[in-house]
Amino acid sequence: MKIAVIADPHFHDINHRQGVGVGEGAAIRTLADTAASTRVFNESYHATRALLDDIVRRGISLVVVAGDLTDDGQQSTMAAATALLDDYARRFGLRFVATAGNHDLYAIHGRHQSKRFLNTDGSHTLVSSDPAMQQGDSVERIVSDQMYCGGYGTAIPALGAYGFFRREGDLHWECPFGSDDRLEARSFEIVSADGFTRRRMIDASFLVEPVEGLWLLSIDANVFEPKDGDLDPRLEKSYHDSTDAGWNSMPRNKGFVLDWMRDVAARARASGKRLIAFSHYPIVDPLNGTSTDEARLLNDTSFLRRTPNPEVSKVAAATGIKIHFSGHLHINDTAVFRDGDDFLVNIAVPSMVGFPPAYKIVDVGSDRLGIETVTIADVPGYDAAFPYYRIEAAREGLSARVAEAENHADFLSRHLAEMVRHRYLPKEWPQDLARLVPQLTLGDLDAFAGSLLPLTVEDATAIVGREQDGAGAMDALPLFEVIVDWYRLRKGREIALDFIDPARIAAYRLTAQRYAAGSWPQGSLQDRLGSFMRMMMDWLDSQPSRDFSVDLATGEVTSSAHLGRTVRRQTGAA
């Protein structure tokens, strides 16, 4: 039996601008907003279709969706995304089983959404569900209820065909509250940190047996904890956003779900069911133990905020759930947590709207799971928004390098480079290091590693460009391009090797060895750069993340033979 696991499609309908009639306005998001985001928007329209087409070609009929099906849960977007899945279910017999992501819904009452859409002259129009939203530098503002992101009461019924309610033909269905699938029977009380504010919230977790012997456990790890104070429960600001909370908030706010997981795991073992769990958020540290180095090197990053702490992984592993798939971070990773005899394998699934564009195929065996990672480089129509981008870039003085991409994977690789330039360096990196990056090369990093004296950023400028004995061909490589490769490895692990010249990887290993051989005071430039190189090596040498198998009895992860790896294209840096 084979299952496809996809995550974070973030589907956006580029053919219908909310607030105007169908066919009266293309809904192309701006290049500026795309460059500033961790995901691309317009490309999801064709990428989601290419993803589903690939699944159909492989003869797979059961598809798990690990959250964020929609762009931002807008009513019209939700309708378009579910219509697309329903079309593939009708035409090709696909069965979808999903969990809701933080972009699909918000608490009970939902929240406003506002987006900027390009006009034919490169200007943009703001479309918002919020009448109080200011127009800003858009040439027009349209207020439309279709932009509103719903809460549990509207979003879950919209997604209902994907396992959230009992379906005829299912061999088993239940939720943490029993066999009653009505939303009103699936509510619980959630309390603010000070204990004074109480709200009724819905939990959308469920267990379904779609085919004989297979249990799919969809865990709703969205936690909308009310903030302290008697705030209006209808407002977004009255809750802590689940985006950064994830599993770290589950034991405190949804302990009943963990108790239910333990019971489900025990019953699965007793009845010989193959149990596969999934939620939107990672349940084991996806940074592979590099969190300490990341905290030392960088400012407060989204990865660090969204990393589950070891105590949470310990509690989750104790439930007996062995295999868990996650999305949310748009990365390709395999992480294993062990505590005595307990273990938990978290398989992070990439997204088609962030580097690398890929999904997972699970081959369910009697004692092992085989995992294949499929990268989809070619997407018909991937460049549909490129003409709009070029017009906007000319009007606003922006770079249109991403619009030179040769395929979808190349586009996402270039987009990542632009994120490094415009988002990660200015927002995540300490200012002194960010200012130094444009001046340095890989050869300079080697030179710093060869200095026995600890250096400051100010000291570094005296060494920059100094010729070194035995300088290699890679010494002139700009540090910015090294950092882009660093992020490619951070997000793609093994898949990133398809996008990085092997000569670069060899040079990075030599530089990392030089730093590993040295010792400098904490906080010195070499100490900080040593953390940078150490993380890169940890990602290069981490658990197999492309094609591997998992022993269901021991949690042992074994890499499948993967020969003939080739470099597709090195892009998006300079």
The structure tokens listed for 328 are 């949310």
CA distance 225 to 158: 23
Residue 572 covered by a domain? no
Establish if 395 belongs to a structural domain: no
Whether 464 contacts 440, CB under 8 Å: yes
Q: Give yes or no: residues 367 and 456 share one domain.
A: no
Domain stops at, among 310, 342, 375: 375
Distances (CA, A) of 519 to 67, 92, 376, 443: 44, 60, 43, 19
Task: Return the residue matching tokens 């700009």.
Answer: 478
Q: What is the CATH number of the domain that holds 118?
A: 3.60.21.10
Alpha helices, DSSP H only, in 163-254? 242-245, 250-253
Domains contained in the chain, number: 2
Q: What is the pLDDT at residue 565? A: 35
- 174 and 72 together in one domain: yes
Do 62 and 135 have their domain in common?
yes
Per-residue pLDDT tens digits for 28-77? 999 999 999 999 999 999 999 999 999 999 999 999 999 999 999 999 99
18 in a structural domain: yes
Same domain? 287 vs 362: yes
Domain boundary among 375, 408, 438: 375
Q: Is the peptide bond before 438 cis (omega within 30 degrees of 0)?
A: no
Residue type, 95: R
Angle between helix axes 525-540 and 479-492 (nearest 10 degrees) is 40
Q: How large a percentage of the chain has pLDDT more than 90?
A: 85
Regarding whether 354 and 283 lie in a shared domain, the answer is: yes
pLDDT in tens, 298-326: 877 888 888 899 999 999 999 999 999 99
Residues 98 and 220 in one domain: yes
Q: What is the pLDDT of residue 203?
A: 98
Determine the structural domain holding residue 247 and report its residue range: 2-375
Cα–Cα dist 310/147, whole Å: 38
Which parts of the chain register pLDDT below 50? 21-23, 562-574
Predicted local confidence at residue 461, as pLDDT = 78
Task: Summarize pLDDT for 40-49 with one digit per residue, the tens.
Answer: 999 999 999 9
Q: Over the stretch 83-108, which tens digit does the pLDDT of each residue have?
A: 999 999 999 999 999 999 999 999 99
pLDDT value at residue 169: 93
Out of 331, 359, 375, a domain closes at: 375
Residue 21 pLDDT: 44
